[in-house]
Structure formats: structure tokens, C-alpha cells
Amino acid sequence: MEFDALVKTYGVLGAGGLALIVLIWLLVHLITKVQPLLLSIQEDSRVHTEIIKNNTEAIKEVSMSNKNVATALKLLNLSFESFSNIVEKHDNRAEIMQNDMIKMSANIENMKDSMNKK
């Protein structure tokens, strides 16, 4: 508003009317300035909600992946334990066979000695 227009309006409406017009003008002015900010805040809120939703889904996927890894490690551990048992049994059998071979070798040597003495 220009100053001349304010003076004419003051003459017609008086101080109260002029104050009311200025207040209405301020209200409209502030609403036009605040409206874009409110829309921006709403858009940011929508984007943040989407980001939180996506992050939640990603965390669920990571959790499932961690469970899968834990299951795989458990199975691998069982496999190692089973393999360890098999190797231990094999070692025991090999040791028994080695002892038997040593006894057989000693018996053969004894037989050779007894044949040579005859």
C-alpha cells in the first residue's frame, strides 16, 4: 500500500478501520509466506517417513540374513564335528592296524629266527 492511499483510507474509515485493513493485509501476507514453508515441511515429513520405512525394511532383511548366516555356521560346525569324529575313528583304526602290523612283523621275525635255528 502506498502512503497516499493510507491517508485517504484513514480519512474514510478512521483509525480502527485502517488498523483492521492493515491486520487483514498482514494476515494474508503472512499466510502467503508461511504456506510454502508448510508445504515444504509436509513434503520433508513424507520423505522422512519413506526413508524410515525403507530403513526398517532393510533392517528386517539384514536380520533375516544374519539368521541365515547363523544357521549356516551352525550347520558348518556340525559338519566339522562330524568330520572330526570320522577322523578320530580313522586314527584309532590306523593305530590299531599299526600295532597289529608291528605284532605281525615281530611274529615274522620270530618265525625267521626259529627257522634259521633249525
A 10 A CB-CB count for 13 gives 13
Asked if residue 49 belongs to a domain, the reply is yes
Asked if residue 92 belongs to a domain, the reply is no
Query: Rounded to 5, what percent of the chain is helix, strand, coil?
Result: 95, 0, 5
pLDDT at 6 over 80: no
Which domain does 37 fall in, by range? 1-86
Asked if residue 20 belongs to a domain, the reply is yes
pLDDT at 7 over 80: no
Asked if residue 54 belongs to a domain, the reply is yes
pLDDT in tens, 15-33: 677 677 788 888 888 888 8
Q: How far is CA 16 from CA 8, 27, 44, 55, in A?
A: 14, 16, 41, 56
Asked if residue 98 belongs to a domain, the reply is no
- Report residue 2: phi and psi, to 5°: -90, 160
CB of 33 within 8 A of CB of 9?
no
In the chain, how many domains are there? 1
pLDDT at 1 over 60: no
pLDDT in tens, 57-109: 999 999 999 999 999 999 999 999 999 999 999 999 999 999 999 999 998 98
Asked if residue 32 belongs to a domain, the reply is yes
3-state secondary structure 62-103: HHHHHHHHHHHHHHHHHHHHHHHHHHHHHHHHHHHHHHHHHH
Q: Tell me, what amino acid is at 37?
A: L
Asked if residue 82 belongs to a domain, the reply is yes
CB of 40 within 8 A of CB of 48?
no
What mean pLDDT is predicted for residues 41-51?
A: 94
Asked if residue 94 belongs to a domain, the reply is no
